Amino acid sequence: MSRLIRWMLALLVAAGVAFLIWQKTRPEPIEVVVKPVVRGVIEKIVANTRAGTVEACRRAKLSPSIGGQIAHLPIKEGDQVKAGTLLLEIWNEDLKAQLILAEREVAVARAQANGACLSAAEANRQAKRAERLFRSKVDSAEQADRAVTKAKSLQAECEASQASVLMGLARINVARANLSRTRLVAPFDGVVAKIEGELNEYVTPSPVGVPTPPAVDLIENNCYYVSAPIDEVDAAEVRVGMETRISLDAFRDKKFAGTVRRISPYVLDVEKQARTVDIETAFSKKEDFKNLLAGYSADVEIVISTRADTLKIPTEAILDGKKVFVYEAGEKMVYEVEIKKGLANWVFTEILAGLKEDQLVVVNVDKPGLQDGVSASVTEVSP
């Protein structure tokens, strides 16, 4: 009996030593950061590949259609102007004089036409009287014929004089058109962004193929949109009318609602390895315009599709597109699990199969030593 007890004691001591050795030599549990599988809304989103730009709905870089010396410049940079406001006028005294001359010529032509037509009317009455006398055998045929011919001649002079008046009116229109070419007016309501030129300086229109700075840069400041490049791979899913969210560096804590209003009909291949399609996004609320300036940099998220009340996990937790590591709190172990994905964006991914709500998935998947069946301890549980 005592021998059996001694053997049992020896076995217990050996087991205790082996346990101590195992405790000392086993690997330390790796530290993991986990997040729970939750239910919520998931969206498939595409975004611009490079910074977009806030653009004014209308922007005109204006220059006079003829060259000349600036004689009148009633605006300054930053002025709010209405459509039709005079922005710039080139010296045009010679053209104004030509217009006055044309108007005077028309006045003379009208007076001459009036006189000629009065004479024609009188001659026409005389001709009718001569014809009546001829029919009554009071007057000769020769006198009647002479009266009719004179009436027709004077009528022709009347019509020629009236044509001269019309020709004079056409000259007035030409003079006014030439004069209007010296005046630069606002085509729409807006703000004067830039003026190139001062009083008495000489301005010229741009020659063909030689761009020159515009005389006046006018921006419509009550309507804006965002133009942004989308990768050609993502562009195929974008449709006009899709919901967008706009982020501006100038308003970091705010997102602006919008919709896709236009998709470029061609691919930009300026960068051969990064081909893009330009999309335009309209702001949904007009009250957002008061805070905007043309030229702000912007980022656009386009919501391709949405699914409500579905399981989702952080996208960063997924490895190789099909597996995650799940932390089992009771066993303090990490296990590899295969999943089936649904909609995804760079923040969350929908889970169609493989996980249940409230399970904990490891998000620091780059942790050294992380593998199936390894012991682990949780350092952080993120909501």
pLDDT, one tens digit for every residue, the chain (383 residues): 566 666 676 677 666 656 565 555 555 788 889 999 999 999 888 888 888 999 999 999 888 888 899 999 999 999 999 999 999 999 999 999 999 999 999 999 899 988 888 888 888 888 777 777 767 766 677 777 777 788 788 888 888 888 999 999 999 999 999 999 999 999 999 999 999 888 888 888 766 666 778 899 999 988 999 999 998 888 888 999 999 999 998 888 888 999 999 999 888 876 666 788 999 999 998 888 888 888 899 999 999 999 988 999 999 999 988 899 999 988 888 999 999 999 888 889 999 999 999 999 999 888 888 888 888 888 866 66
β-pairing, 30-36 with 360-362?
antiparallel
193: three-class secondary structure by DSSP: strand
H-type alpha helices, 223-373: 232-235
**d(Cα 113, Cα 130) in Å, to the nearest integer?**
25
pLDDT at 138: 66
CB burial class (10 A; 0-12, 13-18, 19+) of residue 162?
middle
Extract the tokens encoding 71: 């004689």
CB 77 within 8 A of CB 219: no
Own/partner pairs, 258-263, CB within 8 angstroms, 24+ separation: 258/226, 258/282, 258/283, 258/284, 258/300, 259/284, 260/302, 261/225, 263/235, 263/238, 263/239
Residues 6+ apart with CB under 8 A from 64: 88, 90, 181, 182, 183, 184, 203, 205, 215
pTM to 2 decimal places: 0.68
